């Protein structure tokens, strides 16, 4: 018997002995308690108690045959379907119970997420649950992993605006190209993500080392406001500066030139 099979049954709520006895019944049935004990390794002193619990939970059947009591397993597909229904009903009931316990907490917190796959999974969830708008700054390499989810959101009628370093294909969405230097692209390579949905939540992802990344998610109104303001205004500034040309020095105070030079990787003199 595969150890992982027993472990998965334990995860479903079986005891280790119950899991081993059920697997043994699948291999040999109908079987007496003695036979199940021998095949499963469950002690004979415990086997009838274990088989009684399996019968009570609907995983096994007790049969009377030739004056002997034997046991047979309920077919796995039938049994697992029943477990699935029970768990769905339990989750639904718990959701109603817990939501109704009291008013929601006003506590603002930041959830730190480790790993590229986990950050992208959270981003996909946010996109799938968006009801009105999605604003996202993303590198083209990361965009590829989220394109399908974004396209589905557009098909649902969600406003989608993507800011990226080069043109990407997103039918029905708006793509704003904000070029980045080679140095900046190399630094951000691997993830590079700022995502705001419905003006309600924000996810920021960054690359740490090759193959490693982390993200931070929050519903903090202040952080969401700052992130959306950045996406909807700051990324237009390079274009505005280009249009202003030499007149930019009349608009930007000399003390702030270095700040703009770092932000847009250009020197305004």
Last residue of a domain, which of 73, 88, 120? 73
For 87, the 3-state DSSP assignment is: helix
The pLDDT of residue 268:
37
pLDDT at 191: 58
What confidence score (pLDDT) does residue 188 get?
45
Strands 110-114, 213-218: pairing kind: antiparallel
- Residue reference for tokens 């992802």: 205
Structural domain includes residue 123: yes
At 16-26, the pLDDT tens digits run: 999 999 999 99
Q: Are residues 121 and 62 in the same domain?
A: no
Distances in Å between the Cα of 189 and the Cα atoms of 41, 114, 181 are 53, 17, 12
In a domain, 89, yes or no: no
- Residue 239 shares a structural domain with residue 147: yes
Global model pTM greater than 0.85 = no
Give the pLDDT of residue 99.
76
Verify that 68 and 133 share a domain, yes or no: no
Residues 153, 127, 234: CA angle, nearest 5 degrees: 100
What CATH number should be reported for the domain holding residue 133? 3.30.870.10
Helix (H, G, I), strand (E, B) or coil at 164: strand
Per-residue pLDDT at 187: 46
In-domain check, residue 49 = yes
Listed residue (115, 166, 167, 173) closest to 149, CA to CA: 173
According to DSSP, the residues that pair with 136 across neighbouring strands are: 162, 195
Has residue 84 been placed in a domain? no
Residue 246, by phi and psi: left (phi above 0), alpha (psi -120 to 50) or beta? alpha
- The residues, any chain, with a CB within 8 Å of residue 51's CB and separated by 6 or more, are 21, 33, 36, 60, 62, 71
* In a domain? residue 234: yes
Residue 78 lies in a domain: no
Could you tell me if 16 and 9 are in contact, meaning their C-beta atoms sit under 8 angstroms apart?
A: no
pLDDT at 204: 92
Helix 33-40 and helix 44-56, axial crossing angle in degrees, nearest 10: 100
Q: Which helix (H) or strand (E) holds 77?
A: helix 76-99
Residues of the chain scoring pLDDT < 50? 183-190, 266-269
Residue where a domain stops, chosen among 27, 45, 73: 73
- Torsional sign, CA 157, 131, 234, 144: negative
Domain carrying residue 123: 110-264
């Amino acid at each position: 018997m595969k150890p992982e099979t027993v472990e998965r049954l334990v995860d479903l709520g079986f005891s280790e002995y119950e899991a081993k006895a059920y697997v043994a019944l699948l291999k040999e049935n109908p079987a007496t308690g003695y036979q199940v004990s021998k095949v499963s390794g469950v002690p004979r002193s415990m086997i009838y108690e274990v088989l009684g619990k399996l019968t009570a939970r609907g995983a096994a059947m007790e049969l009377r045959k030739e004056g002997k009591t034997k046991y047979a397993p309920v077919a796995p597909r039938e049994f697992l379907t029943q477990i699935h229904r029970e768990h769905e009903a339990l989750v639904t009931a718990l959701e109603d119970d817990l939501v109704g316990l009291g008013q929601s907490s006003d506590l603002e917190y930041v959830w730190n997420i480790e790993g590229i796959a986990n950050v992208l999974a959270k981003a996909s969830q946010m996109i799938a649950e968006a009801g009105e708008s999605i604003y996202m700054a993303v590198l083209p390499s990361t965009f590829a992993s989220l394109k399908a989810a974004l396209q589905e959101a557009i098909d649902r009628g969600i406003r989608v605006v993507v800011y990226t370093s080069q043109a990407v294909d997103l039918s029905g969405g708006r793509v704003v190209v904000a070029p980045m230097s080679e140095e900046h692209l190399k630094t951000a390579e691997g993830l590079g993500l700022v995502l705001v949905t419905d003006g309600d939540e924000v996810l920021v992802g960054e690359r740490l080392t090759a193959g490693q990344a982390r993200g931070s998610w929050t519903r903090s109104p202040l952080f969401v406001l700052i992130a959306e303001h950045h996406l909807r205004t700051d990324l237009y500034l390079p274009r505005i500066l280009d249009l202003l040309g030499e007149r930019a020095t009349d608009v930007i105070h000399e003390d702030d030139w270095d700040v703009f030079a770092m932000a847009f990787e250009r020197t305004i003199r």
